């Protein structure tokens, strides 16, 4: 992925538009992150009004979007849903037909829906509007309880900040885990929140008592190679297993086992990218036990094999990449004992 077009129209949502700019438009070459040819496009170049009273000046028409590797759709006011500019719909359909990435943020999914590219697919949008999307477009399998959905080369995200999760999910596929984690650190956001997590939790802030889960989660990260049953984790948190599981899901949006499994996959990605360890050793370090179990989980979560992933994203230790990446690779290599 080298070229990115973000489509804006009158009434665009500034934050959701800014998410795409932050994810794909900044120069991060100092951190060893490749630049994208990033352009903001509109049906008519010139002044484009936001929904909260200010405007931006867009220099580019939609021509660039017809060839872009990624087309991002910003949301428009709900009064416009079903009445999108035909020129925008044509770009979206063309991108889908040629296999380019399509990504919508929040209710931008209504534009993809009107274009027809979501027919027969699973998708999401802001939970407040999920029922309306399902009513307007019954051929779409609308999931209101996830942060984002990838179906083929189309990614739809839920409300507001979930757009960042979707962008990082795409970047992880294009740049690998380590570079994406670097981008997330620059953004000061979590590097990975799975799409399958709920859009909202039962309470907006954790209870004071559940703050004790943070050191337990840190300890889990430091001991991935261990089995870590819920009974043991609950004991460390000085809770019953049932209470621990309930509070963990409320705070982290998923079960302890699912969260732990995802952390193991992320660690495996790092080791595949930054070391030359064999699959058996990586499986041991990540707590999968055997290479075959690693392969099964890796393929299920990422849709590829560890070997194929390494071939795509490996970085020879001590060469290439940014100074930050080289230091991280050297630290990781020195921290892993020889097999």
pLDDT digits (tens, 9 = 90+) for 34-48: 999 999 999 999 999
Whether residue 199 lies inside any domain: the answer is no
CA 322, 323, 327 angle in degrees (round to 5)?
A: 120
Q: Are 264 and 306 in contact (CB under 8 A)?
A: no
Q: How far apart, in whole angstroms, are the C-alpha atoms of residue 293 and residue 287?
A: 10
Closest CA to 75 of 100, 113, 107: 107
Q: Are 106 and 40 in contact (CB under 8 A)?
A: no
Say whether 305 sits in a helix, a strand or coil: coil
Residue 220 lies in domain: 208-253
Burial class (CB in 10 A: 0-12, 13-18, 19+), 133: buried
What does DSSP assign to residue 152?
T
Helix, strand, coil percent content, the chain, rounded in steps of 5: 50, 10, 35
In the predicted model, what is the mean pLDDT of residues 190-213?
53
Same domain, 246 and 302: no
What does DSSP assign to residue 278?
-
Same domain, 279 and 146: no
Residue 215 pLDDT greater than 50, yes or no: yes
Dump pLDDT digits (tens) for 181-194.
888 888 877 666 66
Measured between its terminal Cα atoms, the distance across the chain in Å is 36
| Helix runs in 176-255, H state only | 177-187, 213-222, 230-236, 241-252
| Residue 302, domain CATH | 1.10.10.60
Kindly state the tokens that stand for 60: 């580019």
Note the pLDDT of residue 159.
83
Q: Which residues contact 303 (CB under 8 A, 6 or more apart)?
A: none
In the predicted model, what is the mean pLDDT of residues 128-141?
95
Domain boundary, last residue among 233, 253, 273: 253
Same domain, 27 and 102: yes
Q: How far apart, in whole angstroms, are the C-alpha atoms of residue 138 and residue 50?
A: 30
Domain boundary, last residue among 130, 152, 187: 187
Question: Based on the structure, what is the number of domains in the chain?
Answer: 3
Q: Are 143 and 280 in contact (CB under 8 A)?
A: no
Note the pLDDT of residue 302.
81
Whether residue 200 lies inside any domain: the answer is no
Note the pLDDT of residue 104.
96
Same domain, 81 and 217: no
Q: How far apart, in whole angstroms, are the C-alpha atoms of residue 88 and residue 115?
A: 9
Dump pLDDT digits (tens) for 248-292.
888 887 889 988 998 999 899 889 988 999 999 999 999 999 999
Same domain, 216 and 310: no
Whether residue 196 lies inside any domain: the answer is no
- Cα-flanking dihedrals φ and ψ of residue 58, to 5°? -105, 125
Domain boundary, last residue among 253, 287, 307: 253
Same domain, 295 and 150: no
Same domain, 247 and 270: no
Same domain, 164 and 56: yes
| Residue 21, domain CATH | 3.40.50.880
Same domain, 262 and 247: no
CA 98 to chain centre: 23
Same domain, 126 and 179: yes
Closest CA to 182 of 23, 6, 3, 9: 23
The secondary structure element, H or E, covering residue 49 is: strand 46-49
Across the chain, mean pLDDT equals 86
- Does the model's pTM come out above 0.85? no
Least confident of 52-56, 67-71, 92-96, 333-337: 333-337
Same domain, 247 and 269: no
Whether residue 232 lies inside any domain: the answer is yes
Whether residue 116 lies inside any domain: the answer is yes
Residue 325 pLDDT greater than 50, yes or no: no
CA 302 to chain centre: 12
In the predicted model, what is the mean pLDDT of residues 48-53?
93
Same domain, 159 and 272: no
Whether residue 312 lies inside any domain: the answer is yes
Q: How far apart, in whole angstroms, are the C-alpha atoms of residue 167 and residue 240?
A: 37
Say whether 203 sits in a helix, a strand or coil: coil
Dump pLDDT digits (tens) for 216-258.
988 999 999 999 999 999 999 999 999 999 998 888 878 899 8
Q: Which residues contact 104 (CB under 8 A, 6 or more apart)?
A: 72, 73, 75, 111, 112, 125, 155, 156, 157
């Amino acid at each position: 992925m080298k070229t990115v077009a973000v489509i804006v129209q009158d009434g665009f949502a500034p934050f959701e538009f800014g998410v795409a700019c932050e994810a794909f438009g900044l120069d991060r070459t100092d951190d060893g992150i490749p630049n994208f040819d990033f352009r903001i496009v509109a049906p008519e170049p010139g002044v484009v009004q936001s929904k909260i009273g200010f405007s931006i000046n867009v220099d580019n028409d939609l021509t660039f979007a017809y060839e872009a590797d990624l087309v991002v759709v910003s949301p428009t006011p709900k009064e416009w849903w079903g009445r999108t500019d035909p020129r925008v719909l044509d770009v979206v359909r063309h991108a889908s037909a040629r296999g380019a990435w399509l990504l919508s943020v929040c209710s931008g999914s209504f534009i993809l829906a009107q274009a027809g590219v979501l027919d027969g697919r699973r998708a999401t949008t802001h939970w407040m509007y999920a029922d309306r999307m399902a009513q307007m477009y019954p051929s779409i399998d609308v999931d209101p309880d996830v942060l984002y959905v990838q179906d083929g080369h189309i990614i739809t995200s839920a409300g507001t900040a979930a757009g960042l999760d979707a962008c990082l999910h795409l970047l992880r596929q294009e740049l690998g885990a380590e570079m994406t984690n670097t981008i997330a650190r620059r953004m000061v956001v979590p590097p990975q929140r799975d799409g399958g997590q709920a859009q909202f939790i039962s309470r907006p802030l954790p209870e004071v008592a559940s703050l004790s889960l943070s050191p337990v989660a840190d300890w889990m990260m430091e001991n991935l190679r261990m089995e870590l049953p819920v009974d043991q984790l609950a004991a460390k948190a000085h809770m019953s297993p049932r209470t621990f599981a309930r509070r963990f899901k409320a705070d982290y949006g998923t079960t302890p086992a699912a969260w732990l499994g995802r952390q193991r996959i992320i660690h495996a990605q790092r080791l595949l990218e930054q070391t030359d360890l064999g699959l058996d050793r990586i499986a041991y370090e990540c707590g999968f036990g055997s290479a075959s179990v690693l392969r099964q989980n890796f393929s299920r979560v990422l849709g590829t094999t560890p070997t194929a992933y390494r071939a795509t994203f490996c970085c020879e230790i001590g060469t290439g990449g940014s100074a930050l990446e080289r230091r991280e690779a050297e630290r990781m290599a020195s921290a892993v004992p020889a097999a």
